[in-house]
Amino acid sequence: MYDTASRLEGQVSATDIKIAARDVQVFYGDNHAIKDVSVDIQDKTVTAFIGPSGCGKSTFLRCLNRMNDTIDIARIEGEILIDGEDIYDKRVDPVQLRAKVGMVFQKPNPFPKSIFDNVAYGPKIHGLSKTRADLDDIVERALRRAALWDEVKDRLTAPGTGLSGGQQQRLCIARAVATEPEVLLMDEPCSALDPIATGQVEELIDELRQDYSVVIVTHSMQQAARVSQKTAFFHLGSLVEYDTTDKIFTNPQDSRTESYITGRIG
């Protein structure tokens, strides 16, 4: 399923661009963590952010749904447009933005609620369902989308925290997709999972790109190669190289990218 032929390659037209970042800088106090990053992220594509520890992958990912707003010392400059709209415009409500740009974290973090309520929470607060039947439909659809429905349909009232790690992560993915996002940000979503659960989540990511733009931070180059069509290599806060995943892994243009993918730095 991850065959080269299925990867998106070639020309990118302006209409394919979901996220456009321009000259983005992030500072944590005096620490200049992201330096002048500009990148166009394509729609219906999995984009991997790779690079050595501390290079700024998670920081830049968090800029894309304003999660850095929650960090007091973080300061952001530059411009990030989603579908041409500036997400840092004063009129943008970050809560609404995060429904449109969902996020899945490293450690599965279900709420201490039932499986059903974990998924229903977002649609309820965003008023996506008028009736209980609507809500039931939304929850079922999201759990199916996250390839979890068959495993949990008979125990929707059981606590989400009682599921296995891999199931919890798929529950978090269901929770993120329940608000009908357009972009899904994933910060090392498989790092707490065993190889079988990792395989399931990777398969799911491949399916999700039919509907969403997916951006994934990963420490695993094998994972980036398996799931992504585009790869961005970060180093010391800069975006060094951004290209098709095939090109980054087979014919990188920058010596720092080559050193990283061959294991000489990182």
Ligand X SMILES: Nc1ncnc2c1ncn2[C@@H]1O[C@H](COP(=O)(O)OP(=O)(O)OP(=O)(O)O)[C@@H](O)[C@H]1O
Residues forming contacts to ligand X in the complex (CB under 6 A) are 28, 31, 33, 51, 53-59, 71, 73
Q: How far is the CB of 117 from ligand X (least distance, A)?
A: 29
* 197 contacts 165 by C-beta, under 8 angstroms: yes
Among residues 74 and 177, whose Cβ is nearest to ligand X? 74
Q: How far is the CB of 226 from ligand X (least distance, A)?
A: 19
Q: How many CB atoms lie within 10 A of CB 6?
A: 9
Give dist(CA 103, CA 133) in Å, integer. 26
Q: How many CB atoms lie within 10 A of CB 31?
A: 11
Per the listing, tokens 């970060």 go with 234
Per the listing, tokens 């009129």 go with 91
Q: How far is the CB of 184 from ligand X (least distance, A)?
A: 17
Give the bridge partners for 10, in sequence order: none
Amino acid in position 176: A
Among residues 6 and 53, whose Cβ is nearest to ligand X? 53
Among residues 59 and 245, whose Cβ is nearest to ligand X? 59
H or E stretch covering 79:
strand 74-82
Q: How far is the CB of 68 from ligand X (least distance, A)?
A: 8
Among residues 106 and 164, whose Cβ is nearest to ligand X? 106
Q: How far is the CB of 263 from ligand X (least distance, A)?
A: 16
Among residues 23 and 83, whose Cβ is nearest to ligand X? 23
